[in-house]
Structure 1
Amino acid sequence: MSKGKKILLYSALFILATYFLFLGLAQAKGFLIPLTAAIILSLLMVPLSQKMEKRFMNRASASLVSTFIIFLVSVGFVALVSFQVKSIVDKWPDIKETMTPKIERLRSFVLEHTPVEKGDLEQSGESSSIPMMGSGSSSRGEQAANFFSQVMSFFADYLLTFIYIFFLLNYRHRFKEFLLKLFPDEKKKDVKTVIEKSASVTQHYLVGKLFLIGLLAVLYSVGLGISGVDNFILISVLAAVLSLVPYVGNIIGFGLALAFGYLTSGESGVLIGIIITFAIAQFVESYVLEPYVVGDQVDLHPFFVILAVIVGNMVWGVAGMILSIPILAMINVVLLNVGPLQAFGFLFSKEDSSD
């Protein structure tokens, strides 16, 4: 076989293998998302678990306490989101009354200054439907059944994640020894280095992100509170947590602040205050907090960070967007420490070795 044909064959096999890899990841997301989230969260809790084991607890008790801490934090966040949603639902009649004149003015502007016709707007309004509000009883029953099924599936995965975290923390040395036994003795030192670096980069990234979320929540709270936004503390915390999703999360957080802040009041001053708050917060995050708080713990090029977020969303949705960065960071550690794959590690890294 000629060299050109080999290149074509290998390229075709690589594309085919990549397609089936991502297809398999998407099909197995119900199993892989809780497990992957548990692995990353367990790495975050390893230092705390080790400290408790050295001082006053055995490994099982320390693993249980660490798991319970993560559980309490997650329950608090879910309660925060639920409280915010309930607040918006309770205020929905007032929001609708406040925004109706503004929507009508926007509608008139669109009809007068764009090629859009009145029939197009009416058809668009009719086609938009609110979940659980179908036109027929059978449609509502089907939507209710689907919603109930999704809720049950979410809670099952939610609880499984904490079960995984406990076992991963309690038996982490066993998993580490298993990985070491897969390689010959002369490679075990390098494998151990890769394992430790992968765990370290994930821990530092998550700790830095958590600290960054706290600082952003304070900045948002001050700005939104001065702007006169109702429930500004809850909105600020939600917007800060959404920064876990690179680039996209900040846009979603800004949209939430507009929806939950401006819609409830309808005042232009609130809108200007929200815009100024997020502009200042994003500047501080990008040029002050991100470099010094998170730093260079995750040595990834921004281009591949964006690609990872997009691919993560395509494969696992929102969970994939959040998990994509620590996963890519661990993969990059492996690439940089394996000789034949170091070129790919250099490609994914943001450091320039041209000097």
Structure 2
Amino acid sequence: MKEIPMTVKRSIELLGLFLVGALLVLGSNIIMPLIMAFFISIVLLPPYRFFRKKRFPNVLAILLPILIMLTVVAAIGWFFSAQAARLIADFPQIQKNVSLHLNSLSRWIDQISHFSPTEQIKFVNEQSAKLLNYAAALLGGAAGSVSSAFIFMGLLPIYVFLMLNYKNLLLRFIFMWFPAEQHDKVEEVLSESESIIKSYLIGLLIQVTYMTVFLGGILLLFGIKHALLIGVLFALLNLIPYIGALIGNILGVLLTLSSSQSLTPVLIVLCTIAFVQFLDNNILMPRIVGSKVRINALGAIVGVLVGGAIAGISGMFLSLPVIAVIKIIFDRSEMFKPWGVLLGDENPNESPMRKRMLRSKSDLVREKLEAENDIETTDKSEEVQERKDP
């Protein structure tokens, strides 16, 4: 049989990736709840297995972890509502502080430029009118967005329940999709994907907890108003890689400015966030999540932006675990292995232009680069045993 030319293979690859992207864009309202439910069901597998070992009925063993998850979500919602009530109660003082800061800014602009206060007010009014028009356009689809969000949240527990209930059926379907000689590789991909998803998402839950307590606690010690709200907002926004931390910093500064007439609290907030982020990025998070699969910064940022364009905030949040699973699949597929290299962080110390060995798809080369970049490998026997149901 005549071998397919390389150009045709590459064209098929690109066409396949384009079709997958188009499918995600067109069917994001259906696909995103399924992906989110899949990741949540992976996280709930350990408590589900624990209840099954204790001889709980299958339905009860599924419902109990889901109820625990809903309780945690309800507690977070209650905390936000309590903090929002405090913020609303301080609104007159916030309005006064904002006016003070705007007047100071106006005087500073007047000193360094030719814009008089009258021209500044005119400029602000023009921009405000544009902003209001833009906001009106956004609010036009707000009802649809809110209803979509409620449908999304309502479907999640149902999807999680059904995925845990039919997990053996889904696994059978996956294995039947591939020939028998590839089943070992499929089992390896499933085991490693489960390990990565669990370590990443459970690590994020731990991260949100300690960042809220740590950041909020330090700001409370300094007497910053709305310290806990700043802490939890930054911790939740930090779940969105790269972009979330920037938005969290901006919101923290705005909340502090609106609650204080001095700039000193703003400096305290910025320095505290920088300190907590340094500890989180360099000490705490690597130990919690580990480094079994690392995505390079370029791939992560592009993935976050693409995820946001496809499915908004949920797409940005899910981008890294999805890319990690895709990389695991690509690394074990001969056709898509170059794409796995493109997403990964196995950065060679030498140029492939000079060292020909680095041009190879060999697993030995990949393992060597993983060792050079301090990327852990998965203990396959343990993962396979852990995945087996009681």
* TM-score between the two structures when normalised by the length of structure 2: 0.80
Identity over aligned residues, as a percent?
24
Corresponding residue of 2:199: 204
* CA contact 2:199–2:290 (8 Å) conserved in 1: no
State the partner residue of 2:225.
230
Correspondence for 2:260: 265
For 2:309, which of 302, 314, 320 is the aligned residue? 314
Question: Are 2:100 and 2:261, in contact at CA under 8 Å, matched by a contact in 1?
Answer: no
Q: Structure 1 counterpart of 2:128, which letter? A: G
Q: CA deviation at 1:130?
A: 9.1
Kept in 2: contact 1:242–1:252 (CA 8 A): yes
Residue 30 (str. 1) matches residue 29 (str. 2)? yes
What residue number does 1:341 align with?
336
1:180 aligns with 2:179: no
Does residue 150 of structure 2 align to residue 151 of structure 1?
no
Shift of 1:126: 3.1
CA offsets 1:162-214 (integer angstroms, 9 cap, x no match): 11011111111111111011112221122111111111110111122222222
Query: In structure 2, what is the equivalent of residue 192 of structure 1?
Result: 187
Matched-pair contact (CA < 8 Å) for 1:225–1:232: yes
**Cα offsets for 1:78-121 (capped at 9, x unmatched):** 33333333332332222111120210221232244246653333
Q: What's the counterpart of residue 85 of structure 2?
A: 86
Could you say which residue in structure 2 is the equivalent of 1:40? 39
In the alignment, the residues of structure 1 paired with residue 329 and residue 10 of structure 2 have an alpha-carbon distance, to the nearest angstrom, of 23
Letter paired with 1:217: T
In angstroms, what is the RMSD of aligned CA positions?
2.7
The one-letter code matched in structure 1 to 2:232 is: V
Amino acid at match of 1:214: T
Aligned residue pairs total 342
Is 10-19 or 191-200 further displaced after alignment? 10-19
Q: Could you tell which deviates more after superposition, 43-52 or 85-94?
A: 85-94
Does the C-alpha gap of structure 1 residues 83 and 146 become closer, same or farther in structure 2, counting only changes over 3 Å?
Answer: farther
275-284 or 70-79: bigger deviation: 70-79
Cα gap change, 1:16/1:195 in structure 2, threshold over 3 Å: closer, same or farther?
Answer: closer
Task: State the Cα distance separating 1:275 from its structure 2 match.
Answer: 1.3
Q: SS of 2:336's equivalent? A: helix
CA contact (8 A) 1:227 1:269 kept: no
Q: 2:319 aligns with which of 315, 324, 328?
A: 324
Report the AA paired with residue 293 of structure 1. Answer: I
Paired position in structure 2 for 1:121: 124
Which consecutive residues of structure 2, in runs of 5 or more, have no partner in the other structure? Answer: 348-367, 373-390
Q: Tell me which residue corresponds to 2:106.
A: 107
SS state of the match for residue 320, structure 2?
Answer: helix
CA deviation after TM superposition for structure 1 residue 11, in Å: 7.0
Query: Structure 1 residue 49 and structure 2 residue 48: aligned?
Result: yes
* Alpha-carbon distance, 1:241 to partner: 2.0
Deviates more, 1:222-231 or 1:115-124: 115-124
Distance 1:343 1:149 in 2: 41
Q: Mind listing any 5+ residue stretches in structure 1 that lack a counterpart?
A: none
Partner-residue secondary structure (3-state), 1:339: coil
Deviates more, 1:98-107 or 1:255-264: 255-264
Change (3 A) 1:251 1:35: same
Shifted more, 230-239 versus 203-212: the winner is 230-239
AA matched with 2:131: S
